[in-house]
Amino acid sequence: MIELKAIRWGEPYESLEVDEVNHFYTGEPVARVHCVGAGIIQRDAKKAVRARKALQAIPPAELVDRLKKAGELFESGTLAVGDGKQSPDDFIAQQSATTGMPVAMCKANVTKNAFVLKNIDTILDCLTRGLSLDTLARGYGDEGRGVIVSYQAQCDALGAVLPSNSPGVHTLWLPVIALQMGLVLKPGKSEPWTPYRVYAAMVEAGIPPETFCLYPGAGADIGGAILSSCRRSMIFGGPQTVAQYAGNDKVQVHGPGFSKVIFGDDCVDDWEQHVDLLVDSVYRNGGRSCLNASSVYASRHTKEIAEAMAAKLGPIEVLPPDNPEAGLAAFTIEGAAKAIWGSIESDAEAPGVTDMTSKYGDRLVERPPVAYLRPVVLHHASHESETRNKEQMFPMVNVVECPQAKMLSAMGTTLICSAITNDEAFRRDLINSIDIDRLNLGPIPTPQVDWLQPHEGNLIEFLYRSRALQLAGA
Amino acid sequence: MPAADPAAVAEARAKLDAHAVETVQWHFHESTGCPFWLEKKKELKFDPLTEVHSYDDLKKFPEFEDEWLRGGPVRRWVPQGLADKPVYVFETGGTTGVPKSRIAIDDFRTDYSNFSETLPDKYFPVGSNWLMLGPSGPRRLRLAVEHLAQHRGGICFCIDLDPRWVVKCLKKGQIDHANDYKKHCIDQAITILTAGHDVRCLFGTPKLIEALCLELEERGTSLAECGITGIFSGGTEFTPQWTKFCVEELFGGPAEESGVYMTPTYGNTLMGLACSEPVTKENGYKITYHAPEPRAVLEVVDFDKTDEVVGYGETGRSKLTTLTKEFFVPGFLERDEGEREPPHTMYPWDGISGVRPFSRLAGGTTVGVY
């Protein structure tokens, strides 16, 4: 068992409140995490400026080099994590043990997070749209045509309230250190592993430890304290969290994606060519990510599309986490899977809604103390079906029959839209839509992320404000 | 930890037995009892006047239901023997719906006068003034702390604080609004502390003490610099970790170094005030409470067999019995759990440590907003 102390600007802190993080199935303790209260976070927040100053003492190019090294270490190094040493295999085993995610999925996320660090220069180049990091570091620079540009940092450290269910999201905050801002992180209750390993890798690569705070443990007040004491924060949560922070420019909220694949009328007759893409969009990463498609829209052939998807997704079985073929993650909160299945059964009873996976056996698989849900494909005969855009934390997709002209209004908020159409007018409508965040034109699986494009809001726009700066005599 | 002398434990038990009998006689006698208990007596399968000979005989009563305290008429709780006295009513809960109410005449004064005896004069100087930084309005705390100050020869300053409003804000997700309200309370407190009133002693809930210290730090000062030497805290969950943070970081060290002494308490409107054994770094900031026996008794009982206390060191639910002439509550199951602690030399009867919200009710209640 590993002991993870809270980290307060690089200093380990021993708390009298120690939570155990347990194996999702056996219940055996895997880690002991030291929890802190809101007061410590608020008090520490007053020292955030020191983190920024420590990073400002290091040129951006040097920080980038160290982060690249951190990426290598994160992926392949044996690192000092908590009171022990952690190899990459230890990390993957620990993450799988406490989250219930298959080992293969944990490995994939290691690669994803390491990729971002190892390619941090390219990614930052994309995030800044080619702006030199020196301009951000200095506060101003020359745009290249004799015009001064200036960007004002909006915080000394970014706060982040992290989830337990999707280790891939850490890619969103990894670039912050290169921007010379500290990190104040609340790791997910059952997934403290990634933030602690990133911290260990970065410190070993030469990033000053005093630029990090790690506050593990449960308790909404910890998250609340981070959000209220950091001038910029990101939080991950469900629709309620999204609604709570909507319009709050201090908080970037990441919630359900409601991502979709849609067919234009010009391409829908070729749907059979795209079944693998549809299945990949729903199933990759266990269907737990905001990147996964939760709905497919087409004006015709929807029953056949749903049947074809069900034929591929329906037979997928629950496999032990260490099986390389395992693709389904356990629901570790008691009663959660059963409740979700109950709600899907109720949705499937609505007029025009058909469960296309029912013939492939029971969807709810109870393996006390956890449970699994096997993939579900629901067919919606009408775009007016109330549940057409529902998203769940497992591979579940709604195949919706909808005239092309009604699609945009029926789809609602969509994090990623993969539009299989060559109809220029329709493409133009999609480009103009303010409900779609990432738009893929053509047959691109929704989870396929081009790291050279901003995802879910540009980090630079969130952390910096473009402002005027005038130099006398310039 | 100094263990209690067995003779002292036995003596305290005998006193409790006698007090329990006397209290039951008072509340169930036609000439002195309150209408509620006299009416309830008709439903009982035993006669309290002849069949209660010891504290343990109180187990014959059915579990006290807190619903009985909701709604009126409030007079039904006033004992006939005290009917001519001026009566207060204190409330608990009530963010939505009808709050629970408890009548009082002198109990709050008696409880706090007794509590006063446990406070060290070095840090709670006699004659010094107090600040009450906690819930006001229909709650017992405000008058009780004011009495405590007066009992010790001081004058108590108070602020307005309505926790029901805070709960409403939090339930609606209006976190900023709740924080603004907290700031409004803290601003009032700092205004008093810096107005030359010689306030040396403070009551505060843990969250308000924390907020006060952080705001003072923000303004470049501290509780010690404001003259505070003694703090009595309670009202919401009190953990060893919070106490460690508070003592080591907010106060600047233990009382001998920082000059600021804090004593935790556990109590509510139904009970008096349970005092804490001394809390120190050496004992891991462990907080152990002992009820003010014989006026109130705290037992740590089995979660399912609530008539049986658990073994020492074992976890159980907190069960409260109040035994005063003003109010009789036999066996009320609190929404808290903790570990049973042995008698202490200062309090030769059982205690409870690690008090926290009852795990089987977790999520069902909003605790400790301020």
Q: What is the pLDDT of residues B51-109, one digit of tens each?
A: 999 999 999 999 898 889 999 899 999 999 999 999 999 998 777 788 999 999 999 99
Percent of chain A with pLDDT over 70: 98
Polymer length in residues for chain B: 370
Q: Which residues of B touch A42 (CB under 8 A)?
A: 214
Question: Residue written as tokens 């982060």?
Answer: A67
What is the torsional sign of CA B363, B365, B369, B370? Answer: negative
Which domain range does residue B316 map to?
6-361
Q: To probe the interface with A, which of B241, B246, B286 has the most A CB atoms within 10 Å? A: B241
Which domain range does residue A134 map to?
2-255+456-467
In a domain, residue A321? The reply is yes
Question: Residue written as tokens 């970065």?
Answer: A202
In a domain, residue B189? The reply is yes
Asked if residue B294 has a cis previous peptide bond (ω within 30° of 0), the answer is: yes
Residue A148's φ and ψ, nearest 5 degrees, are -80, 135
pLDDT: which is higher, A453 or A49:
A49
Q: Give CA–CA dist A105/A167, Å, rounded.
A: 9
In a domain, residue B1? The reply is no
Give residues 201 to 230 of A whose Cβ lies within 8 Å of B.
Answer: 224, 227-228
Cβ–Cβ under 8 Å, residues A309 and A281: no
In a domain, residue B211? The reply is yes
pLDDT: which is higher, A57 or A222:
A57
Q: Give CA–CA dist B367/B36, Å, rounded.
A: 29
The tokens describing A7, both together, are 């980290």
Q: Give CA–CA dist A7/A209, Å, rounded.
A: 9
The tokens describing A198, both together, are 């990133």
Q: Give CA–CA dist B340/B355, Å, rounded.
A: 10
Q: How would you class B282 by CB atoms within 10 Å of its CB: exposed for 0-12, middle for 13-18, buried for 19 or more?
A: exposed
In a domain, residue B237? The reply is yes
Q: Which pLDDT belongs to residue A432?
A: 97
**Residues A141 and A269 placed together within one structural domain of the fold:** no
In a domain, residue A448? The reply is no
Q: Is B329 on the interface with A (CB under 8 A)?
A: no
Q: What is the mean pLDDT of chain A?
A: 93
**Residues A191 and A285 placed together within one structural domain of the fold:** no
**b/e burial code for range A402-436 (CB count within 10 A of at least 16 → b):** bebeebbebbeebbbbbbbbeeeebbeebeebeeb
Element housing B170 (H / E):
helix B163-171
Cβ–Cβ under 8 Å, residues A328 and A316: yes
Cβ–Cβ under 8 Å, residues A142 and A148: yes
For A386-424, write each residue's pLDDT tens digit: 999 999 999 999 999 999 999 999 999 999 999 999 999
CB nearest to B214's CB, from A15, A17, A42: A42
**Residues A178 and A273 placed together within one structural domain of the fold:** no
Q: Which pLDDT belongs to residue A474?
A: 60
Smallest CA-to-CA distance from B94 within B73, B76, B71 is with B71
Q: pLDDT class for A51, splitting at 50, 70, 90?
A: very high
**Residues A88 and A211 placed together within one structural domain of the fold:** yes
Smallest CA-to-CA distance from B294 within B116, B143, B114 is with B114
Smallest CA-to-CA distance from A395 within A268, A285, A297 is with A285
ipTM over 0.90: no
**Residues A266 and A352 placed together within one structural domain of the fold:** yes
Yes or no, beta carbons of B242 and A42 under 8 Å apart: no
**Residues A376 and A427 placed together within one structural domain of the fold:** yes
Element housing B206 (H / E):
helix B206-218
Q: pLDDT class for A373, splitting at 50, 70, 90?
A: very high
Q: How many domains does chain B have?
A: 1
Tell me the one-letter amino acid at B109: R
Smallest CA–CA distance, residue A65 to chain B, in Å, is: 37
HEC string of B253-311?
CCHHHHCCEEEEEEECCCCCEEEECCCCCCCCCCCEEECCCCCEEEEEECCCCCCCECC
In a domain, residue B369? The reply is no
Hey, which residues does A58 pair with through a beta bridge? none
Q: Which residues of B touch A39 (CB under 8 A)?
A: 210, 214, 242, 245-246, 250
Task: Give the residues of chain B that fall short of pLDDT 70.
Answer: 1-2, 361-370
Question: Residue written as tokens 């301009």?
Answer: A135
Q: Which residues of A touch B239 (CB under 8 A)?
A: 16-17, 37
HEC string of chain A?
CEEECEEECCEEECCCCEEEEECCCCCCEEEEEECCCHHHHHHHHCCHHHHHHHHHCCCHHHHHHHHHHHHHHHHHCCEEECCEEECHHHHHHHHHHHHCCCHHHHHHHHHHHHHHHHCHHHHHHHHCCCCCHHHHHHCEEECCCCCEEEEEECCCEEEEECCCCCHHHHHHCHHHHHHCCEEEEECECCECHHHHHHHHHHHHCCCCHHHEEECCCCCHHHHHHHHHHCCEEEEECCHHHHHHHCCCCCEEEECCCCEEEEECCCCHHHHHHHHHHHHHHHHHHHHCCCCCEEEEEECCCHHHHHHHHHHHHCCCCCCCCCCCCCCCCCECCCCHHHHHHHHHHHHHCCCCEEECCHHHCCCEEEECCEEEECCEEEEECCCCCCCCCCCCCCCEEEEEECCHHHHHHHHCCEEEEEEECCCHHHHHHHHHCCCEEEEEECCCCCCCCCCCCCCCCCHHHHHEEEECCCCCCC
CA distances from A359 to A197, A314, A317, A377 (A): 43, 8, 14, 11
Cβ–Cβ under 8 Å, residues A5 and A13: yes
Residue B4 DSSP one-character state: P
**Residues A272 and A340 placed together within one structural domain of the fold:** yes
Yes or no, beta carbons of B173 and A46 under 8 Å apart: no
A329 Cα distance to chain centroid:
16
**b/e burial code for range A219-238 (CB count within 10 A of at least 16 → b):** beebbbbbbbbbebbbbbbe
Q: Output the domain CATH number for residue B212.
A: 3.40.50.12780
For B315-361, write each residue's pLDDT tens digit: 999 999 999 999 999 999 988 899 999 999 989 999 999 988 888 76
Q: Which pLDDT belongs to residue B366?
A: 44
For A298-343, write each residue's pLDDT tens digit: 999 999 999 999 999 999 999 999 999 999 999 988 899 999 999 9
In a domain, residue B174? The reply is yes
Angle, helices A38-45 vs B206-218, to 10°: value is 10
Q: Give CA–CA dist B145/B108, Å, rounded.
A: 9
Q: Which pLDDT belongs to residue B316?
A: 96
**Residues A297 and A231 placed together within one structural domain of the fold:** no
Q: Output the domain CATH number for residue A16.
A: 3.40.605.10
Question: What contacts B326, CB < 8 A, 6 or more positions away?
Answer: B79, B82, B103, B104, B105, B106, B107
Yes or no, beta carbons of A16 and B240 under 8 Å apart: yes
Q: Output the domain CATH number for residue A347.
A: 3.40.309.10
Smallest CA-to-CA distance from A419 within A300, A306, A263 is with A263
In a domain, residue A341? The reply is yes
Smallest CA–CA distance, residue B153 to chain A, in Å, is: 33
Smallest CA-to-CA distance from B111 within B77, B86, B145 is with B145
Yes or no, beta carbons of A16 and B179 under 8 Å apart: no
Q: Does the structure show a pLDDT above 80 at A168?
A: no
The tokens describing B138, both together, are 């229909």
Percent of chain A with pLDDT over 90: 82
In a domain, residue A447? The reply is no
Q: Give CA–CA dist A39/A37, Å, rounded.
A: 5
Q: Which residues of A touch B246 (CB under 8 A)?
A: 39
**Residues A402 and A435 placed together within one structural domain of the fold:** yes
Q: Which pLDDT belongs to residue A56?
A: 97
Q: Which pLDDT belongs to residue B365?
A: 45
* Beta-strand relationship, B296-301 and B315-323: antiparallel
For A183-204, write each residue's pLDDT tens digit: 999 999 999 999 999 999 999 9
Cβ–Cβ under 8 Å, residues A259 and A362: no
In a domain, residue B223? The reply is yes
In a domain, residue A436? The reply is yes
By three-state DSSP, how is residue B63 classified?
Answer: coil
Q: How many domains does chain A have?
A: 2
Smallest CA–CA distance, residue A242 to chain B, in Å, is: 12
**Residues A241 and A311 placed together within one structural domain of the fold:** no
**Residues A240 and A318 placed together within one structural domain of the fold:** no
**Residues A9 and A83 placed together within one structural domain of the fold:** yes
Q: Is A244 on the interface with B (CB under 8 A)?
A: yes
